[in-house]
Amino acid sequence: MAFRTRRGYHAGMNHAHRSSFVLLAASLLCLLAVQSMPTARAAAAPLRVGMELSYPPFEMTDPTGRPTGVSVRLAEALGKHLGREIVIENIAFDGLIPALKTGRIDCIISSMTATPERARSIAFSEPYLRTGLALLVGAASPVGSAADLDLPGRTIAVKKGTTGHRYAATTLQRARLLVLDKESAAVLEVVQGKADAFIYDSMSVYQNHKRHRDTTRPLLRPFHEETWAVGLRLGDDALRDQVNRFLVEFRKDGGFDRLGDEFLAEEKAAFAAQGIPFSF
Amino acid sequence: MPRWLAHTIVVALFAVLIGLAFSRVDYVWNWADVWAYRNRFIQGFATTVVLSLAALLASTLVGILTALLLESKTVLLEAVGRVYVELIRGTPLLVQLLIGFYVVAGAIGLHDRYVVGVLVLALFSGAYMAEIFRGGLAAIPRTQRDSARAIGLTPWQSFRLVILPQAIRLVLPAVAGQFVSLIKDSSLLSVVAVAEFTLAAQEVNSYTYSTLECYLPLAAGYLALTLPLSAVSRQLERRYRYES
């Protein structure tokens, strides 16, 4: 911006520009300062529940786009028990713990396994479901068990941030690991023969095999047992006690049986037929 | 005020503003856990460097070839170039990558995701390069070519000694910008499980739950690649500056 002075052309800001720049910078700093002041939270504030809505039948959306599924029903029942409104936040699975830690959500109900590593970052409620890791194997692959995967020529597809990812990275180190964002991408890798197996929970393996009968083989018996629990912030003991009390009551009421019948009837029957444990 | 001082002051101001933002968030830093995975970061960084370099070279080649196609007098050749450029510039890179890797590459028997990744990046960037090169060449007035022929230079000599130096000076800023874009776009290859820098940071994040301690080094790593590129580009611009 050049303007003419007595000494010739002077390149630089003239006074009008300089003061408006100062005003802009000052207002930016003021905005930040104001935001850093603590705000009072209302007592009956809504409970923000984080989950990734891409894990049927636990976390999914119905055709109109509304969240539905086992975890959503569980969250709604929890809200009723606590007398608080529930707000479902759809967050990618590997972003749930950071979102909880920074206060964007109050709890995680997303079929999350309680592991010792995660327990260093967040607190867990009592477990509410017992399940395990299973394999979705490609039809052309010679893999017959999880141990078969621990060989140099094998390729394993996992979803980023899951216990399957953790298991493969720590226990199956001789195989090549494909870390993918989405369950559908991992399944596609197996279906196209680019990966030998996809490590995921037994119920999803069953569902995915149903959709790809000719190109995949399910190994449904869990080779690594896990339990799912509700994730909470470290130190949020009040909410954790409330959640644990709720889970006990819900189970006594038969709430979990109802959820099983509504969303998992087919899996329950299929697993029972094969003698595979399935328990809420 | 010397330029380096002004730059340093502005960077410091940004750092202060960002620091203020961080101080309001109750974030517990945990660098130790992330430091334990430093080899994964280094591997990812090396992969990104190799992939970006390969894609840079390939895309420049593709860009030059396509620019020639676009300038061709043969209608069919010009059509090939035009359709390619419009298709690639009009669709998202993510879509090109997913279709390219899961559909096209499988169909033609190319299964190595690293090779496919480089090809997709090269084709993507090549379309933009083609337009840059074509625009640069078109901006040289016809009188330059006529004068060169008039003093007895052959077509190739007039291109090499008269047109090309001027064109390079014109396209250098845009090409450098495209190179920088390409380095950053390579992070998208993480979606098809190419073990590059961004995927490394995401993996370590999923092991340690220390998001900022993973992503800040990631940003710093990309800056370490792109800032020298910008600096070299500015130097080259100065070198090619002459009265015309």
Identify the CATH number of the domain in which residue B220 sits: 1.10.3720.10
Identify the burial level of B140 via C-beta atoms within 10 angstroms of its C-beta, where 0-12 means exposed, 13-18 middle and 19 or more buried: middle
Chain A residues in contact with B25 by the CB 8 A cut-off are: 102-103
B119 to chain A, any CB pair closer than 8 A? The answer is no
Q: Is the dihedral of CA B175, B177, B182, B183 positive or negative?
A: positive
CA A124/CA A108 separation, integer angstroms: 9
Asked if B209's CB is within 8 angstroms of A97's CB, the reply is yes
Q: What confidence category does residue A38 fall into, taking pLDDT thresholds of 50, 70 and 90?
A: very low
CA B112/CA A268 separation, integer angstroms: 40
Asked if A179's CB is within 8 angstroms of B203's CB, the reply is yes
Q: What's the count of helices (H) and strands (E) in chain B, helices before strands? A: 12, 0
Chain A residues in contact with B189 by the CB 8 A cut-off are: none
Q: Does residue B186 form part of some domain? A: yes
A92 to chain B, any CB pair closer than 8 A? The answer is no
H/E stretch holding A199 reads strand A197-201
Residues sharing a CB contact under 8 Å with residue B183, sequence separation 6 or more, in sequence order: B48, B52, B222, B225, B226, B229
Q: What confidence category does residue A13 fall into, taking pLDDT thresholds of 50, 70 and 90?
A: low
Please give the pLDDT value at position B237.
83
Encoded tokens for B235? 């130097």
- Say if CB B47 and CB B197 are below 8 A apart: yes
Q: Which residues of A197-232 are buried (b: 16+ CB within 10 A; e: fewer)?
A: bbbbbbbbbbbbbeebeebbbbbbbbbbebbbbbbb
Please give the pLDDT value at position B33.
83
Task: Give the pLDDT confidence of A84-115 residue by residue, as tens digits.
Answer: 999 999 999 888 998 998 889 999 999 999 99
H/E stretch holding A48 reads strand A47-51
Query: What's the Cα-to-Cα distance from A59 to each of A71, A247, B44, rounded to whole Å?
Result: 6, 18, 32
Q: Does residue B59 form part of some domain? A: yes
Q: Does residue B11 form part of some domain? A: no
A233 to chain B, any CB pair closer than 8 A? The answer is no
Which one of A121, A158, A165, A188 would you mutate to disrupt binding with B, by most B Cβ within 10 Å of its Cβ? A121
CA B49/CA B52 separation, integer angstroms: 5
The CA dihedral of A102, A105, A109, A115, to the nearest 10 degrees, is 10
Residue A10: pLDDT over 60: no
Q: What confidence category does residue A15 fall into, taking pLDDT thresholds of 50, 70 and 90?
A: low
Residue A192: pLDDT over 80: yes
A159 to chain B, any CB pair closer than 8 A? The answer is no
* Structural domains present in chain A: 47-128+229-274 (3.40.190.10), 132-225 (3.40.190.10)
CA distance A272 to chain B (A): 34
Chain A residues in contact with B207 by the CB 8 A cut-off are: 117, 166, 169
Q: Does residue B10 form part of some domain? A: no
Examine the predicted complex and report whether its ipTM is higher than 0.90: no
Tally the domains of chain B.
Answer: 1
CA distance B24 to chain A (A): 6
Interface of B with A in 204-233 (CB under 8 A): 205-207, 209, 211
A157 to chain B, any CB pair closer than 8 A? The answer is yes
CA A61/CA A88 separation, integer angstroms: 11
Residue A27: pLDDT over 80: no
Identify the burial level of B238 via C-beta atoms within 10 angstroms of its C-beta, where 0-12 means exposed, 13-18 middle and 19 or more buried: exposed
Strand partners, A10: A3
Residue A207: pLDDT over 80: yes
User: Mean pLDDT score of chain B, rounded to an integer?
Assistant: 91
Range of the domain at B112: 33-239
- Say if CB A206 and CB A151 are below 8 A apart: no
Please give the pLDDT value at position A275.
80
Q: Does residue B90 form part of some domain? A: yes
Chain B residues in contact with A103 by the CB 8 A cut-off are: 25-26
- Say if CB A84 and CB A44 are below 8 A apart: yes
Task: Identify which of B111, B192, B206 has the shortest CB distance to residue A160.
Answer: B206
Half-sphere exposure of A196 (CA within 13 A, CB side): 21
A189 to chain B, any CB pair closer than 8 A? The answer is yes
User: Mean pLDDT score of chain A, rounded to an integer?
Assistant: 87
Please give the pLDDT value at position B106.
82
The CA dihedral of A167, A168, A174, A179, to the nearest 10 degrees, is -150
Residue A1: pLDDT over 60: no
Chain B residues in contact with A231 by the CB 8 A cut-off are: none
Chain A residues in contact with B23 by the CB 8 A cut-off are: 36
What would the mean pLDDT of A235-249 be, rounded to a whole number? 94
B14 to chain A, any CB pair closer than 8 A? The answer is no
Neighbours of A176 (CB within 10 A): 16
Segments in chain B below pLDDT 50: none
Asked if A160's CB is within 8 angstroms of B21's CB, the reply is no
A142 to chain B, any CB pair closer than 8 A? The answer is no
CA distance A51 to chain B (A): 16
What letter would DSSP give residue B37? T
Which one of A179, A182, A190, A215 would you mutate to disrupt binding with B, by most B Cβ within 10 Å of its Cβ? A179
Q: What confidence category does residue A40 fall into, taking pLDDT thresholds of 50, 70 and 90?
A: very low
CA A135/CA B63 separation, integer angstroms: 45
Q: What confidence category does residue A43 fall into, taking pLDDT thresholds of 50, 70 and 90?
A: low
What letter would DSSP give residue A55? B
Which of A67, A72, A166 is closest to A113 using CA atoms? A166
Q: Does residue B76 form part of some domain? A: yes
H/E stretch holding A15 reads helix A15-35
Q: Is the dihedral of CA A47, A53, A59, A60 positive or negative?
A: positive
Asked if A160's CB is within 8 angstroms of B202's CB, the reply is yes
What would the mean pLDDT of A248-254 be, rounded to a whole number? 93
CA B77/CA B74 separation, integer angstroms: 5
Vertex A187 angle, CA A182 and A188, to 5°: 95
Place of tokens 């080649």: B61
CA A103 to chain centre: 16
